[in-house]
Structure formats: structure tokens, C-alpha cells
Amino acid sequence: MIQARVQSAFKEHFGGGSRLYSAAGRINLIGEHTDYNGGFVLPGAIDKVILAAIRPNGTDRVRLYSLDYDECVEFGLAEEDVSSQQWARYVFGVCRETCKRGGKVAGFDAAFAGDVPLGAGLSSSAALESVFAYAINELNGNGFDRFELARIGQATEHNYCGVMCGIMDQFASCFGRAGHLIRLNCKSLEYQYFPFHPAGYRLVLIDTCVKHELASSAYNRRRESCERAAAAIRHRHPEVTFLSDARPAWLEEVCPELSAEDAMRAEYVIGEFQRVLDVCAALEKGDYATVGERMYQTHWGLSRLYEVSCPELDFLVTLASRQGVTGARVMGGGFGGCTINLVAEERYEAFVQAARNCFIAAFGHAPNIYPVVISDGARRIE
Ligand code: GLA
């Protein structure tokens, strides 16, 4: 059990008296690459978490032990930068971003480990940021709300990891609630919990295990395309701040001014706004056929217009459709990682078997299969 391992590693490295915190990875049913465009997302936290045992150490230094990497890192809170391991940069960023917002960060010792698969599009980095943002907030009595904690994680990605991400992953990791998806309006930051117990269906992730080396720069370029498209539209329609404010016809007006690539990216994003709303309306009616249809549409938009898919992901989505899976699509930023699949109970076993066998036959390695349980977000456990 992770909990026991983390607590005993803490004892071994730092002694006793720690508190234990948890934060989760996330899924997203629909609403991909909409967060940084001011649109809607529909994520939930999952039962894959990072646990951290942590205790103030009375100094101005942070000492960390990662069980998964079996590495120790130490840094001073006044240091300008840490050039060490990537995983430590996340914790360092969270400390700095907490201070920037006027929060106190006293030196601490921490040991941590998790079971959120890395590079699978399940936001292991957001889980790491959130568990430390939450713990530091509580241990220092800073009183930041969960939105501020999510922003601390997001700013860590921007300023210390070079990924210009939106707010979705950190939001889901901080706000997750068992049995619920959360619809977040990324412009107004209004959110609503949606009970999610799709009777007769299961959600399963299939991880291609493909990791794209340049995923973060490709991600940032997608964002820049969207910003250029929004700026062109704003020129004619000043009320447009984000692409989410634009009507499809307004995009058509400016298409001649945009590169073909920017126009394709914007076309996908504008279509995706409506799909999230359609899915929320369908969920309220228990209309899973529509939910699934929109998921497939999202996938092919992400593949052909947004160009963040890869052959392995397209293969799995095509296979899902042939197997009668209700909905399937690439999930998260893309460029590898997982598909998310909404599968009727009676087709589940056959689909998972076929996905495994056909994937091995086509690509020579097995995919990882993760059934999804929607769970709680960041919290103190002990
Ligand atoms: C990554 C980012 C999120 C979001 C998704 C795509 O997970 O961290 O902010 O943009 O990609 O929806």
C-alpha cells in the first residue's frame, strides 16, 4: 500500500511526526483544449493519487525524498532556481508561487510516492503540485482557497516547467469529489458538480504508453495558434476575449487572414465548446448515445484539425467504434497517452480483450488498461 510505504520512508529519512496528504490525477469526459480558450471542461479526480508525508523542519530548507525515483533533493527557500530533477522543480515552483501570493512557506521535510501513471495524460504533475500546494497551505495556515491552490499549480507549470497549460488539471485535482464530474466554465470559473453514475456503462482508459518528447512545445504552439485566431476575430468583434466568445461564422470571416493551420485549430476549439454543452444536457437525460457520439467527434477533431493524436490512439478509437463502444477519444493534451472509453457493461470484457490483443498485434507491446473510479481531490488523510 502506498500509504504505508510513504510513511515508513518518511520515518527512515526524517523521523516521525508527519502529516499525510493526498491529491489525485484526473480524467476529462469531454472539453479538450478548451480550458485555455475560456471554454468548458468536464473533468473528475480519479483513484490514482500522489501521497506525501510532510513535516515542518524548523529551517529555511526543503528536503524531499521521492520513493518512485529513489532520489533525495534539498533546496533553500530563498534560492532563485533549482536546476535539479524535474520532479523537484514542481515542488520548488509550488513553494515559490505560494510565496509570490503572500503565503508563508516554512522549511519542511517530505517523502512522497504515487500510482498516477507518468506521461499517460492523467495529470501526474497536477497531482504532485496539488498535494504540495494543499499541504503547504494547511501547514502554514495561509488560508488560500482551492482555486488559489489550483492557480499555484498552474503557475508552477508556466514558470518552472515551460508548459503554458490551462487550469483544468489542477482544478480537478483540487476540487474532485467521489462520484462526480465537474463542469467548469474556464472563463468565469463557475463550476457545477455532476453526479456521474452511468448505469449500465463503464469508463475505462487504455494507455498506449506512447510518450511524445516534444509534447510541451507542441502544446504551447497549439495555444499560440488559438491566441492568434482569437486576436484576428477580436479585431472585428471587440467583445471577443477568448475563442469561446466567438461564433463559428466569425471564424469564417477571418479565415483568409489566418494560416491554414491556425484556422484548423480554431475550428476544432469552437466546435468543442458546443460538444461539452451537448454532453452535459445528454448526461442529465441519461442519453449516453449522444455523449458517446460527441466523444468520437471530439477525437476526430483532435486528430485531424488539432493534430494532437498519433497512430496508436487513432487505432484504439477506430477499434472501439468497430466493437460497438459507445464513446471513445484521446484524453488530455494528446501526443500519446490514453484513450477514454465509455463502454456498455455487456461489451466491456470483449472490448478490453480485443483492445489488448489487437494493440499488441499492431504495435508489439501491450497497452495499460485502467478502469476509472471517480474519487476525491486534494485532502489531508492523517
Ligand atoms: C493538458 C493541460 C490542460 C488542458 C489539456 C487539454 O492536460 O494541462 O490544461 O489544456 O491538456 O484539454
Question: What kind and span of H or E run contains 323?
Answer: none
Task: Give the model's confidence band at 161: pLDDT under 50 very low, under 70 low, under 90 confident, else very high.
Answer: very high
| Residue 32, pLDDT score | 98
Query: CB of 74 within 8 A of CB of 62?
Result: yes
Q: Are residues 72 and 190 in the same domain?
A: yes
Atom of ligand 1 nearest to the CA of 41: 12
| Residue 215, pLDDT score | 82
Taking only the tens place, the pLDDT of each residue in 351-373 is 999 999 999 999 999 999 999 99
Query: CB of 34 within 8 A of CB of 273?
Result: yes
| Cβ of 166 below 6 Å from ligand 1 | yes
CATH number assigned to the domain comprising residue 219: 3.30.70.890
What spacing in Å lies between the alpha carbon of 165 and ligand 1's midpoint?
6
| Cβ of 168 below 6 Å from ligand 1 | yes
Query: Distance between CA atoms of 131 and 49, rounded to whole angstroms?
Result: 9
> With pLDDT > 70 as the criterion, what percentage of the chain qualifies?
99
Grid cell for residue 121: 495524460
| Cβ of 32 below 6 Å from ligand 1 | yes
Residue 59 is part of which domain span? 2-195+376-380
Closest of 71, 132, 125 to residue 378, by C-alpha: 132
Q: Are residues 132 and 253 in the same domain?
A: no
What spacing in Å lies between the alpha carbon of 290 and ligand 1's midpoint?
23
> With pLDDT > 90 as the criterion, what percentage of the chain qualifies?
96
Q: Are residues 163 and 37 in the same domain?
A: yes
What is the mean pLDDT of the segment spanning 215-243? 97
Q: Are residues 150 and 291 in the same domain?
A: no
pTM of the model: 0.97
Does position 238 have pLDDT exceeding 80, yes or no?
Answer: yes
Task: Give the model's confidence band at 182: pLDDT under 50 very low, under 70 low, under 90 confident, else very high.
Answer: very high
Measured by CA distance, the residue closest to atom 8 of ligand 1 is 165
Q: Are residues 123 and 232 in the same domain?
A: no
Q: Are residues 229 and 352 in the same domain?
A: yes
What spacing in Å lies between the alpha carbon of 332 and ligand 1's midpoint?
5
Does position 198 have pLDDT exceeding 90, yes or no?
Answer: yes
What spacing in Å lies between the alpha carbon of 34 and ligand 1's midpoint?
8
What is the mean pLDDT of the segment spanning 178-185? 97
Grid cell for residue 314: 487513432
What is the mean pLDDT of the segment spanning 74-87? 86
Query: CB of 287 within 8 A of CB of 57?
Result: no
Q: Are residues 216 and 143 in the same domain?
A: no
Q: Are residues 339 and 355 in the same domain?
A: yes
Helix (H, G, I), strand (E, B) or coil at 144: coil
| Residue 78, pLDDT score | 92
Taking only the tens place, the pLDDT of each residue in 98-156 is 999 999 999 999 999 999 998 899 999 999 999 999 999 999 999 999 999 999 999 99
Does position 83 have pLDDT exceeding 70, yes or no?
Answer: no
CATH number assigned to the domain comprising residue 177: 3.30.230.10
CB atoms within 10 A of CB 308: 25
Asked if 169 is an active-site residue, the reply is: yes
Helix (H, G, I), strand (E, B) or coil at 163: coil
Does position 84 have pLDDT exceeding 80, yes or no?
Answer: no
Q: Are residues 211 and 350 in the same domain?
A: yes
Q: Are residues 20 and 49 in the same domain?
A: yes
Q: Are residues 20 and 101 in the same domain?
A: yes
Q: Are residues 82 and 178 in the same domain?
A: yes
| Residue 212, pLDDT score | 78
What is the number of domains present in the chain?
Answer: 2
Taking only the tens place, the pLDDT of each residue in 30-46 is 999 999 999 999 999 99
Taking only the tens place, the pLDDT of each residue in 253-302 is 999 999 999 999 999 999 999 999 999 999 999 999 999 999 999 999 99
| Residue 378, pLDDT score | 98
Average pLDDT, the chain: 96
What is the mean pLDDT of the segment spanning 187-203? 95
Q: CA of 269: how far to CAs of 197, 356, 360, 367, in Å? A: 28, 31, 33, 29
Of 35, 109, 169, 207, catalytic: 169
| Residue 85, pLDDT score | 83
Residue ranges of E strands in the chain:
19-28, 40-41, 43-56, 61-66, 71-76, 108-114, 180-185, 191-195, 201-211, 327-330, 336-344, 368-371, 379-380
Taking only the tens place, the pLDDT of each residue in 321-360 is 999 999 999 999 999 999 999 999 999 999 999 999 999 9
| Cβ of 165 below 6 Å from ligand 1 | yes
| Residue 81, pLDDT score | 81
